Structure 1
Amino acid sequence: MKYMLIMGIMLVFGISVSAMAADTPAAPAAPKAAAVVNGTEIPTKILDTEVGLEQQKMLYSGQQIGASQMPVFKKAILEKLIDRELLYQASEKEGIKVEDAKLEEQITQIKKQFPDEKTMEKSLADKGITLAEIRSQVKKSMAVEGLIKTKFEKDVTVDDAKADEFYKQNIEKFKKPESVKASHILAKCDKADAAGCKKAEEKIKDLRKKIAAGGDFAALAKANSDCPSKDQGGDLGEFGRGQMVKPFEDAAFAMKQGDLSQPVKTDFGWHLIKVTGKTAAGTVPYAEVKEQIKNMLKNKEVSAKIRAYLEDMKKDAKIERNQV
């Protein structure tokens, strides 16, 4: 199970190529450590990059954290990092070991997120991060996963009867609204930059012509899109109403499966949308969701155990939280 408190290194440091390219607003000097947990520092740069990445992810789904919400937002993320550090310290006490070969496999996967070694080095340097720090954080995440598997997951089982009961008692949760599966290509621009947005529009129009003439959408998305989804050929997966910014949503839901949109303007720039699937509203059959329900109920029980364990740990832990 990938427990929510285990932040993969790509989340902790925000080191996807697209995230590294994003501008980081200037901020006043912050303390070196956002928190200290039993003598171990959680650097402010880790907190800041995690906050920035979470903001970026929310923006792409049409959500935004206002200035008044930021203190609470940062505090919540810091608490997750504190919980993660506590679980890592517990894994050390429990003697959880991380195999060097498996650790290097994960490091190799992270390196593959960059086009080449030089780009990776520059990206890390821009964030003030070293490869040694990345390796350390990956190792911690893997150790915490090991702790959860051995200490919390092994005795938790959910039978079919429990899953069936949950489905029947929560049938409304399985009524699925109309949804769309789509891919897109984004030409990013600042709405205040008229010239830049005109250039972005022309780029999307040109790409549309290429695709309409038989060009491969996924390949062109990988080569041209300014959205992180380019790594998946522009695939955004399935989404319902209210999950995307309105101009994008309106265009996607008005299209038929297989359609290619005209250029669509949003606050992010200009988009080219391809609808790859449409699902009508209805109730999802139990057989399709049985395993998901069982996993959800298991995760819920495991999470409750972890929360109780953390509450116990915090009674004796020495935790210093600096102003963030």
Structure 2
Amino acid sequence: MPASLRPILAAAFAAAMVMSSPAQAQDTADPNEVVATVNGTEITLGHVIAVRADLPRQYDQFPPALLFQGIIDQLVQQTLLQQSFEGDLSLQSRILLENEERAVTAGEVIAQVMEGGVDEAELQAAYEEQYPDETGETEYRASHILVETEEEAQALVTKLEEEGADFAALARENSTGPSADAGGDLGWFGEGDMVEPFFEAVAALEPGGVSEPVETQFGWHVITLVETREKERPAFDTVRNELENQVREQMLTAHVEQLAENAKIDRADTSNINPEAINDPSLLEN
């Protein structure tokens, strides 16, 4: 809903606060039921529901009875304003209407495609592709101590290797990272989960080993590798919803690609248009 219309709705809510209790609601509702008529133009329950669905979450605090009457009042006022309009819509308004119609219609098609049934064999194939039986990937559990300088990091390495200091205790005392309270424990992670210099240092360690100081954009790290394991394959049922969403997205992509293949699409040469023009709404003023 445009922000400029919300004060109208808020005022209607304030007026509705003094209303008497509404009549008993019907058990069933028909979205085509007319709730108001303005100079012959009908406003239906469906119109009210559509406005309610588009309201920001802060409106959830209002009881349904107040929202119901407030939205009707707003739609009546909007209809009056619409009927009083004379002349031609501005360029911006015409474009907004065209874009809105395009988006709503496209949304209908997207819903039809996405609601289509997903074949069980497709789900199983997606599962096998994304989660192969033997991934061959290793996961690492490591701890680290993060400090600001290489000198600080080297001093910590010396304490660990030559003095036998406790890694977790040093992390709690010295680390500036969020894992300090956990003794530097970072939990389990795999390749791509950590910045490259950090991960390379971890992968080069044997369990129990301590790295030399490692520099990243966060500072200097001293790392110890706790243990490793083969990446676990999740059970099919635990990722079923995720796989269904992926398959449906693929269905939508394939549908759009098919539409494009059968369409005549001419893309104009836009090299003469400054891309910054998209940030200038004054171009739509007339």
Normalised by the length of structure 1, the TM-score is 0.35
Normalised by the length of structure 2, the TM-score is 0.40
Q: Which has the larger radius of gyration?
A: 2
Q: Which has the higher helix share?
A: 1
User: Taking CA–CA contacts closer than 8 Å with sequence separation of 6 or more, which of the two structures ends up with the larger relative contact order?
Assistant: 1
